Structures are given as structure tokens and as C-alpha cells.
Amino acid sequence: MAKRLTTWLLGQRSSPRLAFLLQVACRLLTALCQIVWIRLLLRAMGPALNGLLLNFQSITSLGGLGDLGMGGLVNIQTSRLLGQGKDAELRKFLAGVRAFFGIMAVLSTGIFLVVSPALLHSQKFGTVAGVGPLVGLCVVGALAIGLLILNSYITNLNYGCGNVVWPVIPAFLIAQLGFLGQWLLARQGAALSLQYLPTLGGSVLIFLLGWIWIRLSHPALGTVRPLAVDWRQFIALAGQSFWVYLCVLSTSIYATISALLITPRFGPALLVTYRYNGKLCELAQFVVNSACLASLPKITQWLASPEAKTRERALREAERLNRFQTLLGCSAALAYLAVNDWFIGVWLGKGQHAPLSWQAAFAANLAVTGAGQLGFDLGPRCSDHGIRVAGITVALTSLLNLGLSLIAVRFGSVFGLALAGVISQSAAQLSLGWYSCRQIKLSWWRLSARNWLLALAVTALAIAMRRLLPLDSVLAAAGNALVVLAAALLIAFLLGIRISDVREEAAILRGMFGKR
């Protein structure tokens, strides 16, 4: 039995569909657990201290940018070189990358220790009781950043090798243990730095497990040595990764800009309302992104193949993935606006309700992301030139987001801050979708533009539903459910999803779990 299970896991380690199912199942479980953990943490910490915790998490996630985009380059290059059968070239590439990551982890840790006191002071960490000594917070943050950079290497190497199934369940379990440890410490009134230690321990476990998975699937790549400390190679690698770095930098800024702008202008308590009202959207976006994360390693390898039939298969799978992602994103936006007020009221209380305008912006962002995510992600994987184009495009649209956000905060508009994300995300998705379609010979209208218009139309429908069918009775709930179901079926029809597609997916899934 154990041997059969091991054989099956080895055979399915790179299955996009199994990885997607596991990602979705674990994310749903994570969301259910987070509903409990966040409520418990809010009670133990209070809104202000919890808001500062969210802010600190955003700051340390920015510190992970110390890999200078090399993580994304590892993912892309590993998939390409494996697809082309260039194993010796891949090992040489990774020897230089390992040394680079080690050096950058040490440098980033040191830099954070120097700049963090002033940064935490500017974000009002010293104004809330219970934060504890800022020195301890600086040290813990520095260690977290160093581990984040090292984990970037091992995580991207696993994804590049196609190990998309194995990490899912362990990551879920480690995350829950981290929440449990943090809550127990919060109940005792521990300083914020001590409450962050379980998260730090989880990062160490993820790093060690990552090495084990690589050793199982690609033993020749799962080594610490050799380390090629060659500064010329470092400069060459940095030149290649710079464009990936722009993508990662801009994406990270987009994800953390709300925390960095809301906290000093409106206070940490408002950040709690802003973030947690987007929790359902965050869950849905993870589901949409999971489809890409699970499928892109194989699609990238197929696109890099010299065989025409293999490249054609990549295009077919890309279009299929795009249709289902658009359906997921648009349907989730409809459901989000219908139930979010009810959900927040039950979860955190009516005092945490966000205005409808904020929620509408969150829903639009979710729908637009689902509709254009594939074209966005294919851009840097089409060619080396694609990496450069993606970096420039995302950097420019992030500057647009930053500029609009600063204007919104200047005029005291949190809605403007949320809307800035929708505008910049739309610009990035449409422009990179256009580039990707030109490179791989697909229709830009079918892959991006039509889906973007559909996403906006669905958001408008969701707002109308919210006003005409507020969720205030069982009859209204039934009406909302029927409208969402009918709209989802119509969206599927407009996207070209037919019963035969669903049957084909079901047959593939049955085959994965058949006898071996």
C-alpha cells in the first residue's frame, strides 16, 4: 500500500489538475481556519495591534525583494532548460544562483536592521500599547526577510521542476500551526516580536521540506554545492533577473501599498476593516491564481519545446485555462458582492462593514484579475524579450497605481485607493495580454479584451444585484443564488465552455485517480 501511494505521488507530482484541486481544497480549509483564527486574534490583540501586525507582515514581504527577481528567473529558466533537455546548462546556472541567494540573504538582513527603526516609527508602531520593544521586532523582521529570500530559491526551483503537488498540504498544516502558536502568545499579551516567532519557525520548515522534494524528484539539482562565486556571472544573472525583479517589485508594492498608506493617514484600525472586507476576494483570487501556478510549469516547458505538436498543445491548454479562470473570477465577483456584508456581520460584527463602493472596487479587481491573469503570466514566459517587456509594463502600471493611490489618500478617499488598483491592474492585464498573444499567435480579443469587458459588465451586474436584492431574508438569498447561477451559466456560454469540456475534465480527473 505504501509503495503504491509513493509511486502514485511520484507520478502525479507535476499534475496541474491535481495540484489545482489540492490548492483549492487547502485554500478553502485555510479560509475556514482563518475565519476562526482572525476572530480569535482580534479579540486577543484588539483592532489597532492587529492592524500593526498586518502592516508588519506587509513590510517583511517587501524585504523578500532582496532576491532581485532571481526567484522568478529560477522558475522560468528551470522550466525552459528542462523542457529543452539542457541538464548540464541548468546545473551550471543553479550553481551561480545558489551563491547569489546566500549573499543577498545576508545583505538584505543587514539592510533591514539598519532601516527598520525609522520605518517602524513612521508607521506608528510606537503609539500602540502591546507592541513591545521595537528592537526585537527589527531582529525578527530581519530574520524573516533572510528566510524569505532563501525560500524564494527553493520554492521557485520546485515549481520550475514541476513539483506543484507535494508542497500544498504541508504548507497548509504549517500555516495552521503558526496561527495556533501566535494566538497562544497573543492571549498571554506577548510582544509582537514574540508573536511572530511561530511564523518564522514555519518558514524554516518550508525551506527544509523544499530541499527534500527536490532531492526526491531531481537529485542532481537538490544540492548545496557547488557554489559558483563568480562576480561576472552575478552581473550577468542580475541583468537577466532585473526585468523579473521589476515584475516582483511592482506586484509586491501593489499588495502592500494599502497598508503603508492607510496606517499613517487613517490609523491601523481602519486597515483591519479594509483588509478583512477583501478576505473573500483574496480567497477567490488565490483559487484563480492556483490554476495558473499549477499549469504554467508544464505550459512553459511545452512552449519551449522544439516540436510543433507540443507547442500546439501548450496553446490549447492555455486557452482552456483562460476560459475557466475567467469564469471563476467573474462568478466569484458576483457571489462576493452578494454575501460579503452578511459574512462580515456574522464573522466580525456589523461595526466592520465596509462601504459598498470599497466592495465594488474589490469585486472589479477580482473579476479583472481572473479575466486577464493568463495573458499577464504568459508574457515573461514567451521569450527573454518577454521578460523585459513584462518588467517594464508592470513597473509603469505600478507607478500609475502609486500615483493614483497617493492622490486618493491626499483627498482622504479610501475608495480612490481601491479604485487605483482596478485601473492599474486593467492596464497591466490588457497590455501584457496583447504582447503574449502576438508572441504565441493567439487572439488578443479572445484571450484578454473580451474577457476584460465581460469582467466590468459582471461587476456592474453585481452592484445592481446588491442594490435590488439585498441579502436580508431567505427569499432574497434564494433570489441571489438563482441570479448568480444563471449569470455563471451565461458567462460560461459566452466564453465557449460547453458540456463536452466539463466531461473531458472529469475524465482526466478520473484517470488520475485510477489504478496504477
Contact 101, 152 (CB under 8 A): yes
Residues 386 and 332 in one domain: yes
Question: Exposed, middle or buried, 362 (CB in 10 Å: 0-12/13-18/19+)?
Answer: buried
- Which CA distances in Å does 23 have to 169, 237, 281, 482, 516? 8, 32, 16, 28, 23
Residues 191 and 315 in one domain: no
47 assigned to some structural domain = yes
Contact 151, 183 (CB under 8 A): no
Rounded Cα–Cα distance for residues 91 and 98 (Å): 11
pLDDT per residue as tens digits for the range 133-161? 788 888 888 888 888 888 888 888 887 77
Contact 290, 328 (CB under 8 A): no
Contact 430, 374 (CB under 8 A): no
Between the CA atoms of 492, 496, 499 and 505, what dihedral angle is there, to the nearest 10 degrees? -90
Grid coordinates 529543452 are at which residue? 84
Domain boundary among 224, 246, 268: 246
Residues 303 and 226 in one domain: no
Q: Pick the residue with more confidence: 76 or 190?
A: 190
Residues 115 and 203 in one domain: yes
Rounded Cα–Cα distance for residues 108 and 503 (Å): 50
Residues 229 and 293 in one domain: no
Residues 295 and 225 in one domain: no
159 assigned to some structural domain = yes
| pLDDT given at position 515 | 44
Range with the largest mean pLDDT of 68-77, 249-258, 468-477, 491-500:
491-500
Residues 300 and 209 in one domain: no
Residue 514 in this model has a pLDDT that exceeds 50: no
Domain boundary among 227, 246, 265: 246
Residues 194 and 308 in one domain: no
Tally of CB atoms within 10 A around 340: 24
When divided into structural domains, the chain yields a total of 2
Rounded Cα–Cα distance for residues 134 and 139 (Å): 9
Range with the largest mean pLDDT of 165-174, 309-318, 454-463, 476-485:
454-463
| pLDDT given at position 172 | 83
| pLDDT given at position 456 | 92
| pLDDT given at position 359 | 92
Q: Lowest mean pLDDT of 129-143, 251-265, 311-325, 439-453, name the range.
A: 251-265
384 assigned to some structural domain = yes
C-alpha cell at 208: 527544509
Rounded Cα–Cα distance for residues 259 and 269 (Å): 11
Contact 67, 101 (CB under 8 A): yes
Q: Say which residues have a Cβ less than 8 Å from residue 91's Cβ, sequence separation at least 6.
A: 220, 221
Q: Lowest mean pLDDT of 63-77, 82-96, 404-418, name the range.
A: 63-77
Residues 323 and 447 in one domain: yes
420 assigned to some structural domain = yes
Residues 235 and 364 in one domain: no
Q: What is the pLDDT averaged over residues 85-103?
A: 77
Q: Lowest mean pLDDT of 39-48, 360-369, 479-488, name the range.
A: 39-48
5 assigned to some structural domain = no
Rounded Cα–Cα distance for residues 428 and 390 (Å): 9
Structural domain harbouring 153:
12-246
Residue 16 in this model has a pLDDT that exceeds 60: no
**Confidence at 516, pLDDT banded by 50, 70, 90:** very low
Domain boundary among 231, 246, 261: 246
Whole-structure pTM value: 0.68
C-alpha cell at 426: 486593467
Mean pLDDT, the chain, integer:
78
pLDDT per residue as tens digits for the range 27-43? 678 777 878 888 888 88
| pLDDT given at position 336 | 92
Q: Lowest mean pLDDT of 28-37, 289-298, 419-428, name the range.
A: 289-298
| pLDDT given at position 363 | 93
Q: Pick the residue with more confidence: 466 or 71?
A: 466
| pLDDT given at position 512 | 46
Question: 3-state class of 15 per DSSP?
Answer: coil
Q: Say which residues have a Cβ less than 8 Å from residue 128's Cβ, sequence separation at least 6.
A: 48, 49, 52, 268
What are φ and ψ of residue 32, in 5° steps? -65, -40
| pLDDT given at position 347 | 83
| pLDDT given at position 387 | 75
Angle at 178 between CA 75 and CA 352, to 5 degrees: 100
Q: Pick the residue with more confidence: 379 or 147?
A: 147
Residue 111 in this model has a pLDDT that exceeds 80: yes
Residues 295 and 439 in one domain: yes
Residue 511 in this model has a pLDDT that exceeds 80: no
**Confidence at 419, pLDDT banded by 50, 70, 90:** very high
269 assigned to some structural domain = no
Residues 28 and 169 in one domain: yes
Sign of CA dihedral 318, 321, 322, 323: positive
267 assigned to some structural domain = no
Q: Lowest mean pLDDT of 311-315, 391-395, 451-455, name the range.
A: 311-315
| pLDDT given at position 407 | 92
266 assigned to some structural domain = no
